[in-house]
Structure 1
Amino acid sequence: MADSIIADFAQFLLDEGKSPNTVTTYGRVLSKLDAWLQEQLPTTSLITLSARDLLAYFNFLRTSARAKPATLNLSRGAMSAFYKWTREQGLTDENPARKIKAVVSVKGAPKALSEAQMDRLIEAAMRCLRKRDGAMVLVLLMTGLRESELCQLLVEDVDFKHRTMTVYAGKGGKYRQLPLTAEICGVLSSYVNGERAELAGKLKRPHKRNNLFLGRRGPIARQTVFSVVKTVGKLAGIEGCHPHQLRHTYATIILNKTGDLTAVSALLGHSSIATTQIYTRPTQELLAERVQSALGHKVTRRSATE
């Protein structure tokens, strides 16, 4: 029964214009809750659980599962949306997620690459034997795209003449246009007319969508993006490099160069500028540097006189 309800909810989300990634993530959250219920409260289902049951589950996530604040807030958001829908469908009388509070996490700006790391990553990307891999890394670094957005890009989304890229979000027709540098256009043009053309010609079943980035069997998956970025990052001497770090780097550079938070918000595709404000917070490294600069010499000077 749970699988059927989750499937119906997923279809509702798709009809509302939510991205496939969001739908998949919400479904995963609900499936984990259902699995916990079957183990801990076998007579209780997603529809019959109480607010107390849900609080117990979140306590489990915080303690036994040691879920991070971001994971807890994601779960809270998914369940709030789910139980709002079940009430509208007449499946439940109340929303048991109403008593779940958001977890406040105080942290600095996301970790971005240093200028030296960025230079090494660009150099490593340009040296990639597979032009696709180098192009993927450079596009992520120079546009701030999410990995899911990169996977959904079509060839026609890139306007080489006007040096722009159109990025669509969900099914609601929302999109944003990103400016491209001449260098990125050159890299993409070389890939599209060379390696990509060969890949497209070898596909046994041509995909109905003209995706920009292809693998041997068709459009690339998010796992491929993570793998490629990690591999190219290692070539550049950057351990644990991931797509979102490149997005952070893009946002940080644009903000530092322009000081225009509104522009950065538009470029990243944030629905609220409040989300973008995290980039205005100092990093832990910068905070440590400021404290050391202000106070460190005092202890050193005192020690030297004793």
Structure 2
Amino acid sequence: MNHYLQDFLDHLYDQDKSEQTIRAYLADLSAFSRWIEEQTEDPFSPHIITPLDTVNYRRHLQDNKKSPATINRHIASLSSFCKWSCDMNFIPTNPIENIKGVSRESIGPKSLERREQLALIRAVQKTGKKRDLAIVNLLLHTGIRVGELCSLRKDDLIIEGRKAMIRISKGKGNKMRYVPLNSTALKSIISHIGISGDSRPAPSADGHMFYGQKERPLTERGVRHLIKKYAYNAKIPWVSPHALRHTCAKNLIDAGQPIDRVAKILGHSSINTTAIYTMPTETDLQHAAESISWT
């Protein structure tokens, strides 16, 4: 790996960025470094990046039909790298400082319709695997992130009378929060870990809630593979764990829950982040158009 990229990744680790965030930075910057090396025929370094290069790279991404969200993520990753390069005195100024991203009309993130949610659940139920049903129901009914799910331990399940919740010890930014469980999610967890509905699991030396192959704790990659398999069987192959998080948020908003409560459940530090779920999705707009159709 290019030593500038390696040093930047080390910086991200020092900043306690999540593994998923660091992987995204690496993918974006690796793609840019390959592109600019082809353009300049020089080894990648911060010194060869110019404002014109960043504009041309943005156009390159647009020409390759990348979505505005993807393009803006690439620009943000490159901007962070260039800012770090300035702070390290590798370059005098940030060549991407005044480069704007790509704008588009705001719509809500893609989420599963009710029939698609039911199709996914049926695909899991056909296998009879209690673990997998608990995973899908947790993602769909709590909106937790895949990394948060993999970090869950059995004693993170808290049952107090008629209330139940899970403790997220390592949320985004290392923030701890408690997420309420509805009856559907709770029933799936209880069935999976094998406890009575009025008790709390006893902690153990290695009491992870979900295990994968060879009795090792389930990984994020394992969860993504699991969801992809069931989504394919349900004929909705685009679905990912994060799409289930979007779906949970959309379900809560559509059910009339206040945005501040939705933000708390999702672990958002600002309701401005949650506000995207109040925007209509492409499916919502399609339904609106169909509502006045004459045929």
- Normalised TM-score (structure 1): 0.80
1:36 to partner: Cα distance: 1.7
Partner letter of residue 34 of structure 2? A
Q: Structure 1 residues 240, 51: CA separation in 2 closer, same or farther (over 3 Å shift)?
A: closer
Q: Structure 1 CA distance, aligned partners of 2:42 and 2:111?
A: 47
Q: Whose radius of gyration is greater, 1 or 2?
A: 1
Q: Structure 1 residues 159, 104: CA separation in 2 closer, same or farther (over 3 Å shift)?
A: same
Partner letter of residue 159 of structure 1? I
Partner letter of residue 248 of structure 1? H
Q: Structure 1 CA distance, aligned partners of 2:192 and 2:290?
A: 47
- For the 8 Å contact 2:131–2:192, the answer to whether it is kept is yes
Residue matched to 1:189: 190
Structure 1 unaligned spans of 5+: 195-207, 301-306
- For the 8 Å contact 2:109–2:277, the answer to whether it is kept is yes
- For the 8 Å contact 2:120–2:230, the answer to whether it is kept is yes
Instruction: Summarize the alignment of residues 199-214 of structure 1 with structure 2, pairs less than 5 Å apart.
Output: 210-214=207-211
Q: Structure 2 CA distance, aligned partners of 1:69 and 1:291?
A: 24
1:114 to partner: Cα distance: 2.7
Instruction: Summarize the alignment of residues 157-196 of structure 1 with structure 2, pairs less than 5 Å apart.
Output: 157-161=156-160, 163-167=164-168, 168-170=170-172, 172-193=173-194
1:74 to partner: Cα distance: 0.8
1:251 to partner: Cα distance: 0.9
1:119 to partner: Cα distance: 3.2
* Structure (1/2) with the larger helix percentage: 1
SS at match of 1:163: strand
- For the 8 Å contact 2:137–2:184, the answer to whether it is kept is no
Partner letter of residue 258 of structure 1? G
Partner letter of residue 171 of structure 2? A
Q: Structure 2 CA distance, aligned partners of 1:62 and 1:290?
A: 29
1:178 to partner: Cα distance: 0.5
Residue matched to 2:202: none
Q: Structure 2 CA distance, aligned partners of 1:108 and 1:53?
A: 30
1:236 to partner: Cα distance: 4.2
Instruction: Summarize the alignment of residues 63-82 of structure 1 with structure 2, pairs less than 5 Å apart.
Output: 63=63, 65-82=64-81
- For the 8 Å contact 2:109–2:246, the answer to whether it is kept is yes
Q: Structure 1 residues 249, 90: CA separation in 2 closer, same or farther (over 3 Å shift)?
A: same
Residue matched to 2:50: 50
Residue matched to 1:61: 61
Q: Structure 1 residues 245, 10: CA separation in 2 closer, same or farther (over 3 Å shift)?
A: same
Instruction: Summarize the alignment of residues 110-259 of structure 1 with structure 2, pairs less than 5 Å apart.
Output: 110-161=109-160, 163-167=164-168, 168-170=170-172, 172-193=173-194, 210-217=207-214, 218-259=216-257
SS at match of 1:97: coil
Residues 15-58 of structure 1 show CA distances to partners (whole Å, capped at 9, x for unaligned) of 22321110111122112212222222122533112222222222
Q: Structure 2 CA distance, aligned partners of 1:129 and 1:289?
A: 35
Residues 249-300 of structure 1 show CA distances to partners (whole Å, capped at 9, x for unaligned) of 2111211223411111221222332222222122334334434545x45xx8
Deviates more, 1:238-247 or 1:176-185: 238-247
SS at match of 1:99: coil
- For the 8 Å contact 1:160–1:185, the answer to whether it is kept is no
Residues 185-244 of structure 1 show CA distances to partners (whole Å, capped at 9, x for unaligned) of 3322332349xxxxxxxxxxxxx9754322114233333223322332344454433222
Residue matched to 2:4: 5
Structure 2 unaligned spans of 5+: 196-204
Q: Percent identity?
A: 31
- Normalised TM-score (structure 2): 0.83
CA RMSD in angstroms, aligned pairs only: 2.6
Deviates more, 1:25-34 or 1:281-290: 281-290
- For the 8 Å contact 1:109–1:283, the answer to whether it is kept is yes
Residue matched to 2:21: 22
Aligned residues: 281
- For the 8 Å contact 2:164–2:186, the answer to whether it is kept is yes
Residues 70-100 of structure 1 show CA distances to partners (whole Å, capped at 9, x for unaligned) of 1111111111211111111112211112132
- For the 8 Å contact 1:124–1:235, the answer to whether it is kept is yes
Q: Structure 1 CA distance, aligned partners of 2:291 and 2:65?
A: 36
